[in-house]
Amino acid sequence: MNQQPTWGWPTDRLPRVLVVDDQAINIRVAFEALRGDHEVFMATSGEQGLQVFRDARPDLVLLDVVMPGMDGHEVCSQIKAGPDGADVPVIFITGHDSDQAQVQGLGHGAVDFIAKPFHPEVLRARVRNHLLLKFQTDYLRSAALYDGLTGLANRRHFEEVFAGRWRAAERNAQPCAVLMIDVDHFKQYNDCYGHQAGDECLRQVAGAIGKALMRPMDLAARYGGEEFVCLLPETSLPNAGPVAERLLCNVRELAVPHAASGAAPVVTVSVGIATSLGGSGRAPQDLLADADAQLYRAKAAGRNRACAASA
């Protein structure tokens, strides 16, 4: 079982800290100061530090500035340039703590400095404060992008990603597909089983929808109420259909009882599929409208099915 740090790290694992220093004694002191409340990773050169960073995905980096070969400034710049490092706090540990040195380090993306020789309690307190600040920032970012009930992207996040994917499709003349999804007879489900059961139903359906998407570029989102949407970049109509069928099957296999449904004895969904080729002069709202129209076709045809717009 994972430990919890004594100062209340708000996840189910210990925070990961990477210490990069060419002096073994400095690494040892940092390790002894942090090992009780943190999972500590170590590297003795800049190049090794970058490799450990990629492998371990730490929550915070303690980084010496002066090292042979790649120095701390270069390591920090490379960490911050990558998609996995932009939000990871880097604290420089250095014997050069002049104003000029600090300005230079901050310019490379560091958040703090600790002067050598450092006191273990000072190190522990600085690390704790920056980790808690990181957690709070990550939480606020997640709350802004994801639906609190289902964990899927929220509508705002979907619209931002959709706009970017649409521009890419237009530049490259590639297809883009959208699936609009609605839980069948969800009002009746709430009336029959209650709103708490309705929330749990939406969570399970959201999970089934997410599992139907196989590529990192695909995005599932809660669009509002019991309505969901999936964005499938670089996907034509023949390739979008199997995704919709997999999604329908996943939801049926949940086997969530729905005695008040006219579509099936279990919870089901209806799906509308639409695709468009980038560069055709259409707007992203047109694709959403097409998918929505197909969703209503699926509902009118008896629900628990997918309908697609003609290519």
Residue positions annotated with a catalytic role: 226
CB contact at 8 A, 245 and 304:
no
Please give the full DSSP string across 140-206, using - where no structure is assigned. Answer: HHHHHHB-TTT-SB-HHHHHHHHHHHHHHHHHHT-EEEEEEEEETTHHHHHHHH-HHHHHHHHHHHH
Half-sphere exposure of 265 (CA within 13 A, CB side): 0
Q: How far apart are CA 54 and CA 70, in angstroms?
A: 16
Give strand ranges (E) for the chain.
16-20, 39-43, 60-64, 90-94, 112-115, 175-183, 219-224, 227-233, 269-277, 306-308
Q: How far apart are CA 224 and CA 221, in angstroms?
A: 9
**Both structure tokens of 178:** 């959208």
Q: How far apart are CA 153 and CA 305, in angstroms?
A: 24
Say which amino acid occupies 204: Q
CB contact at 8 A, 250 and 191:
no
Q: Are strands 306-308 and 227-233 parallel, antiparallel or unpaired?
A: unpaired
Q: How far apart are CA 24 and CA 34, in angstroms?
A: 15
Residues 6+ apart with CB under 8 A from 48: 20
